[in-house]
Amino acid sequence: MTVSAWGLSDLVQLLVFCTEPRRVKVSSGDLFAGAIEELGGQLDRLEGMEWIGRGSTVEHRITRAQRAASESWFLDISGRSSPVSSLTESGRRWLELSGSERARDYLEPLRQAMTEEVDDAWGAQGLYLTQRDRLDAFRSLEGAVPMEDFFASQAQGQNPLKRSAERTRALTDEACKRLEDRWWSGLREILVDTLLPSGVVRCANEGERIMIELTPAGRWALGLVDEFEWDEGVEADAFYVQPDFEVVFLAPSPSLEAEVGRFAERQGKGVGALFRLTRSSVQAAFHGGLSAEDMLSTLTGKSSTPLPDNVAREIDSWCGACVQLTWQPTSLVRCPDAETAARVLAAGRGKLERISDTVLALVDPKKRGAVTVACKKEGVFLEGAESESKRLKSRLW
């Protein structure tokens, strides 16, 4: 199985995931474990890639994607006590790009590194090289070659650390070996951390050996060609909305996924029945500010076939059934019997409302003092209310 460019697809999946604002940790801005598990299930599986170590774990991949998203201002974190991470307008615009455009944008920093002297502070024994030096080594990759063979030939024959050191002194065998090891591990590191996730290089397991090869996009990123074709299949420009409330994608389309994900429950990734429109997803979106018209217009505009009548009606009906209420603190007066309640109600002169036979509620909290005084005149002492009022006052001052 050939594996490549998961960093790019992880970023896309993360942005699609955050179409619905996601709670993140106050301390680090990272997603919570539940969200990581859910998103992890949607990432491409890296079969046979255990050899790259930590970089293949879901947690590491998500952290890396989060970092990339935040550096590119694709995700924004808002809220202090309960922060949420959500897609920014530029993130949405980026998702709307074609797969090839997204790849180009993602690889642009690497391509720049081939022309600019970006110091990545990497080196050994007082010899420092730029990122370009390490990238340069991969320009010589021709076709699919065994990874270990490639590293060995680079470390022994094309090693800039050795070349540099030999200019000033003769190297002992031990020093030579050290510089070869250093160059070997340096190449491996950039391969694992950058070139494989970004899709510059792809790799495949062939029996016991790992074969690596430059991709067309990689050849472009390394400045070997001026154009490249992005092999990612056909992106959908439409989906089906089925009468059973499923939204089915017959080809992948992150931008459409991001659109629909705002008001539908995700069920899968890639192609298939990716979303289900449910009452709770539609009502949550409605509460979040999307109107029924917004949802219907997204569905109508991007559906391959007319929107089923029952789906349109239900979305309208679900939004229509939403009621927004506000919690309001209130003061209650609990009376020992109905007669006392009637006396207090009369004394309150419209400032109190009957909740039950013996319980009254203060309509306007500002009238607490007036009611207390009025009741006092009737021989009813609202002591708790007075002390509560004092307590509030003392807190205010």
Partner 1 sequence: MPRPDDPLIVQGDLTVLVEVSSPRYAEARDRLLSFAELVKSPEHVHTYRITPLSIWNARAAGCESEQILGTLEEYSRYPIPENVRAEVIEQSSRFGRLILDRVEGALRLTAASATLAEELSYGDSLQPILSERIGDRAFRIDTANRGALKQALIKLGHPVHDLAGYARGEELELELRTATLSGQPMKLRDYQRDAATAFHASGSVRGGSGVVVLPCGAGKTIVGMAAMGEVRASTLILTTGVTAVRQWIDELLDKTSLGRDEIGEYTGACKDIRPVTVSTYQMLTHRSTQDAEFTHLSLFESRDWGLIVYDEVHMLPAPVFQITASLQTRRRLGLTATLVREDGLEDDVFALIGPKCADVPWKVLEGQGWIAKAMCTEVRLPLPDDMRMDYAGAPNRSKARIAAENPGKAALVRDLLAAHPDDRALVIGTYVDQLRDLAKGLDLPLITGSTPQKKRDELYGAFREGRLRALVVSKVANFAVDLPDASLAIQVSGSFGSRQEEAQRLGRLLRPKPGENQARFYTLVSRDTKEQEFALHRQLFLCEQGYTYAIREASEVLA
Minimum Å distance from CB 256 to partner 1?
15
Q: Indicate the residue among 290 and 307 with the shorter CB distance to partner 1.
A: 307
Q: Does 313 bind partner 1 (CB under 8 A)?
A: yes
**Per-position x/- string for 273-292, each x denoting binding to partner 1 as judged by CB under 8 A, each - no binding:** x-----x-------------
Decide if residue 310 touches partner 1 (CB under 8 A): yes
In angstroms, give the least distance from the CB of 53 to partner 1: 25
What is the total count of residues that contact partner 1 (CB under 8 A)?
Answer: 25
Instruction: State which residue, 192 or 315, has the beta carbon closest to partner 1.
Output: 315
Out of 224, 251, 290, 380, point to the residue binding partner 1 (CB under 8 A): 251
Q: Which amino acid is at 97?
A: L
Residues 205-244 that bind partner 1 (CB under 8 A): 233-234, 240, 242-244
Give yes or no for a contact between 292 and 286, defined as CB atoms under 8 angstroms apart.
yes
Question: Least distance from C-beta 319 to partner 1, angstroms?
Answer: 13
Query: In angstroms, what is the minimal distance from the CB of 268 to partner 1?
Result: 8
Please state the closest distance from residue 229 (CB atom) to partner 1, in A. Answer: 12
CB of 250 to partner 1, least distance (A): 6
Binding partner 1 (rule: CB under 8 A), the pick from 26, 33, 152, 250 is 250
Among 20, 180, 246, 259, binds partner 1 (CB under 8 A): 246
From 97-105, 140-148, 216-224, 301-309, span contacting partner 1 (CB under 8 A): 301-309
Residues 175, 162: Cα–Cα separation, whole Å = 9
Report in angstroms how near the CB of residue 353 gets to partner 1 at its nearest: 19
Query: In this chain, which of 58, 175, 308, 376 binds partner 1, going by CB under 8 A?
Result: 308
Q: Which is nearer to partner 1, 1 or 370 (CB)?
A: 1
> Distances in Å between the alpha carbon of 294 and those of 20, 343, 395?
15, 54, 46
Site membership for partner 1, residue 53 (CB under 8 A): no
CB of 45 to partner 1, least distance (A): 9
Cβ closer to partner 1: 271 or 342?
271
Q: Could you tell me the smallest distance in angstroms from the CB atom of residue 299 to partner 1?
A: 13
Residues lying near partner 1 in the complex (CB under 8 A) are found at: 1, 233-234, 240, 242-246, 248, 250-251, 271-273, 279, 304-305, 308-310, 313-314, 317, 321
